[in-house]
Structure 1
Amino acid sequence: MKLFLAKAFDILGAPFYFRTPPRFMLLNFPHRPLFSTLLAMLTRRSLSLSSSRFTWVWLAAAACCVACAVPPKHTLEIANRDIVYAEEEGAAQYAPELLEAAKDSLDASFRKIRAEQGQWFEPMRDYTPAFTAALAASHHAQAAATATLEARQARQAQLEARLKEVNTNLLQAFQSTRGIPKHRAYNRNLTRAELTLSAAQDRLRQGDLDVVDQKFQEVSTIVNTVREGTGTYIADYLRGKRDRWGKWAKETVEVSARQKGYALIVDKSSHTCYLYYDGRLKKRYDADLGANWMAEKSMSGDKVTPEGKYRIIGKRQRPDGHKALDLNYPNADDLRRINEDKRKGKIRKGANPGYAIQIHSGGGRGQDWTAGCVALANPDMDELFRTVGVNTPVTIVGAWDNKAVAGSRF
């Protein structure tokens, strides 16, 4: 009889032998936790008794304990909480297969419970398969949450890198509008994009990644639209003019060499004023231009720095130290072109071509702000004012393809 009890203990009672069963045993048999210790006590007691008259009592009690099975309610609650947590973290987007596996396992657990509850003889019910399915549901849900966290971290790092790229593109777009007559309209759109990008940065810090992606797209759309517009304008501005500008610049350098004197070439695209002497480059100065420099000057108030071959016709110096070199704008070529544009209806007939174009001090601001003049920083203007005199050639070009002079924007 003792041998029989030992076998029965191995089969039925081993998981409950301990007075306080280890955690893994309780997990493996959650539907019998209330009777675990009791069964262990009964079984251990039966093995210590030599009288067979108590044996059948302990066997009957042990059988009742094993048969009293209940559904794994607590494990189901844990699995359900794990699934809800995974969904809240975004597993439906980042780990849909694991989340679906968790839900399927949870459904399977409930189906197995219903199947066992359909068993009319209650002592024969076994909820171990239901418990196993509930454990699987919890495992899949936790794996989905972990995968989601890792995916979100990777995506956040990707969006942070894209933020730098979008910000760089935005700054370049702002730069591309510099000097274009429509730059204010373009800049209004770019300012709106700048505000959108700032909002995207805030959302990125909050972890709202889907909204960040959407705002990046909005900014990119605005930037691309501005780039397309400025690119078209620049292409139209340059069309058919490069050769003419190059010819003017070359002739100006040749005059300097032939006369062994000074000459100035202003390259609007690089915002640079080049000083030549005897056909050789002596100095270069940074220059601020008219706010709408990327155009041909046609009337007073258009804030365009003119293009053409001019000369210094006067030198001015105020008591406050302001210095200026007067240019002979408009020259004969300017008047001929402006009158032709009036005849074609490009500008109104009564438009004044403008006057008082100078190279003057007050520059060095790093932006285009003048009404059409060329502005140098005060120390540069002081030096230039001492160096050049009346009748010094001054040529202003939109862009210069001189290989010896780098820095042209185009």
Structure 2
Amino acid sequence: MLNQATIEIIKSTVPVLEVHGTAITKRFYEMLFTSHPELLNIFNHANQRQGKQSGALANAVYAAAANIDQLENILPVVKQIAHKHRALGIKPEHYPIVGENLLKAIKDVLGDAATDDIINAWADAYGVIADAFIGVEADMYAQTAAQPGGWDGFRKFVVTRKDQESSAISSFYLKPADGQAIAAFLPGQYITVRATVKGRTNTHLRHYSLSDAPNSDYYRITVKREAGNDAQPAGVVSNYLHDQVHEGDVLEISAPAGDFTLDPAVPSQAPVVLISGGVGLTPTISMLNTLVGKQPERPVTFIHAAIHSGFHALRDHVKDIAEQHPQVTSYVCYESPLAGDTCDHTGYIDLQWLQSVLPEETARTADFYFCGPTPFMKTVLQALKQNGVAADRIHYEFFGPAGSLEA
């Protein structure tokens, strides 16, 4: 436990972190990878270059400082991050390395303003925060390995099938190379692929949502090729999967993880609204497939937005489900339809259109799950709030480091 003097010092640094947090975490990663280049085998290099990782860490540090006397307030965030740490293979021995470099970065950025009292207080606070993460992650490691079909670390899976779903999206069906059982998962969870890419020095780890219902003898991931542009580099692993991985090849993956989930074992008659943009449909497809199998009486509205039909994956699959299950209603939105495209809405999803397709009763009683590019999710979240949807009925997933949709 922290003494009151330490708590007061940490809380006094909250305004400083609000201003300098991203600069501190950016410097932290520079120092970390200089002193421990082996950790580049764990971290996503693209997120580093784009500043996503440093921004997410800054938010986490800020939240920890603001709640240092009531860390239970950030337990949901701890658990969310812990899921990713377990999937990546972060272990207790990594935490002292992180702590040492974080304190150095604070001192380096703040200079003389980072007094010995502040550094010592943050050292004590980091120890408490690290212990919270280590404890949560230890439970996750144990539960994951002990469950039927579970395992620790990375396991070899064979690509038994590869389907082209759209011009930029492919599905990969994965079965364990050892022929043994695989762990169950909740719809919405992801697996982590560890790739060794020719011409690249480090291994690369990426999370990919499972895109089919659980309780099968395979996992399926549906991956968009990230071609890259002036603002964003090409995706190393997504291009590797599309160009170099074929049926019969072997991938290493960690067991399913993630807290953006729909649990079909929890009885409910509440309607479900699934909203996705682009490849954000991967977790919502898993939820849809699960709902029609496990809760076939539950009303489901499936809304998907894409640029046009050329980028729309699994459209026929969703259409078939809607035709076979009268409780499922499906809507398609295209930003820029091609000649001959048919859709229910042209342009972007907005409040007015959502209100036109969702009855007032649905908006009041439904559980909403959505995923997609960050600008898309910001728009959806704002529309749901304006439409009176309660906060505890809104669930969403970031691809990559968690950010904020409130800005």
Q: Which has the larger radius of gyration?
A: 1
TM over 0.5: no
| TM-score, normalised with respect to structure 2 | 0.24
| TM-score, normalised with respect to structure 1 | 0.24
Greater relative contact order (Cα < 8 A, sep 6+): 2
Q: Which has the higher helix share?
A: 1
